[in-house]
Structure 1
């Protein structure tokens, strides 16, 4: 069995050398073209490039170098492959995960769960020190930056940052203790 690499210096046959030369001459431009069409998806672009070269291998006589312009043909094949792949993906039915009827049955429980969760979160917030609660209210709940909160609270920005950090850490451990973590 004769195995050769397309980039190797000594290909076994004139067809393989011609294909390697085609790849070296047109591959980078073709890859860039396909990559732009696919929005930067490198994996799919490599697949399209490989399939284009395989079709060139199968359909064209690349070794005899007849007068046919191979580059436009390769770009057309690549374009058609991209379009075919897009159409195939669009023709597939939309996949759904799970059972939607089960979600509908559990909708009432979600409202109760939200209410119970809010009670647990309020209890966890009450367990914080007043300075930590005040820092959270001034930043997260008021949708302010730490600089804006520092000005509103009359403390340095670094103090607000550390209070928010330790408040969130304490809040996380309080919620973990209550089973919400």
Structure 2
């Protein structure tokens, strides 16, 4: 940009940027958007030779008109029509429960493949969070039997899950 253009653009900015910015904020209520409109208005003035050739004080009405047209174009734009304003940004994305549902069904089917004795011990230990002693008291069996059924029940559960395609 020649020095003469730079001087004229600086004069345009000094003379008109603040009033145009206030005008756009008055129209839109959007301070950040007003900065963009003022920038685009000044860019258009710089690209229009007749405006750059005029004295900076005689171009204010032209700049207000350009700024108003930019605001109207933005309001009419497809981007604006498709956007929905919200008071607060949405929460972070959450995954749906589909995978958890399929896992629950898979585990339920694998547990159904166990014998009733093994299933009772595994369910109480892992889903009921009971200790070996509590399971033994509840089922009225020795603690060693609980440990044995838990060991063999988990082996059978692992095998049933592997048969359904679940791998480590």
What TM-score range do you get, normalising by the shorter chain?
Answer: 0.3 to 0.5
Normalised to the residue count of structure 1, the TM-score between the two structures is 0.41
Larger gyration radius, structure 1 or structure 2? 2
- What is the TM-score of this pair, normalised by structure 2? 0.44
Structure with higher helix content:
2
| Higher RCO (CA < 8 A, seq sep 6+) | 2
